[in-house]
Structure 1
């Protein structure tokens, strides 16, 4: 695997990955996946060579960076790519002096994964796109 992870301004490959993983694979309704926040977001794209394989997006609101839409194609799962994507996002927002914490909405099956990155769950379990989620936070500074 020849892996690169970078921010991108052309986020069409990120959207294609999200459609594949969230809509086609997980059954999230298209209208739940699409929102008006992509134009405001920082988009992160992982490629294996020239092939898009994973993505995430970051929305900054005040002192909080919300990391979301994190997904990896089946062919990249179990390789550490999800962890690499998250670490890239965390390193990116930690460089911003105004951002002091990261937040995300985790699918409940992935809570342990995010706990391994230092996130702590809080609040009740809720439905997002037909999938149970729980909010998580990590203090950065």
Structure 2
């Protein structure tokens, strides 16, 4: 099996994955999922033997990079793909000049996952689309 993570320009497969995971599985409303940041983000797509299995989007605001909308198709969870997506995002963002930190909004249940990748909680718990989250940061 061949796993490939690449930046993509077309969002059809990215949006299909996000719809399946966030809207259908987690019950997030379409209004909360779709925003104007998709048009300015870099989107990475993970494929396994050509089949889309995960995605994330990368943004930058001054010296802070942001990894968001990280999702993995249900059959691929627990395989390390989520960590691969985050590490790919870290590599892409840290290669940009001037970025000193990378942030993400983690669902509270997943904070341990991100801590293993070097992120630390840097803010109070907050609600995002009805799901408790923590802001987390990785200092470069």
Match of 1:107 in 2: 107
Cα drift, residue 123 of structure 1? 1.6
Structure 1 gap segments, 5+ residues each: none
Cα drift, residue 129 of structure 1? 0.9
Q: How does 1:1-141 map to 2 (within 5 A)?
A: 1-140=1-140
Cα drift, residue 18 of structure 1? 0.5
Superposition TM-score, scaled by structure 1 size: 0.97
Counterpart-to-counterpart distance in 2, 1:98 and 1:14: 28
Secondary structure of the structure 1 residue equivalent to 2:28:
coil
Secondary structure of the structure 2 residue equivalent to 1:28:
coil
Counterpart-to-counterpart distance in 2, 1:39 and 1:49: 27
Cα drift, residue 100 of structure 1? 1.0
Q: Which moved more, 1:5-14 or 1:105-114?
A: 5-14
Task: Figure out how many residues of one structure are paired with residues of the other and give that number.
Answer: 140
Secondary structure of the structure 1 residue equivalent to 2:18:
helix
Cα drift, residue 37 of structure 1? 0.5
Counterpart-to-counterpart distance in 2, 1:70 and 1:83: 10
CA RMSD of aligned residues (A): 0.7
Q: Hey, which bits of structure 1, 4+ residues long, moved more than 2 A? A: none
Structure 2 gap segments, 5+ residues each: none
Secondary structure of the structure 2 residue equivalent to 1:97:
coil
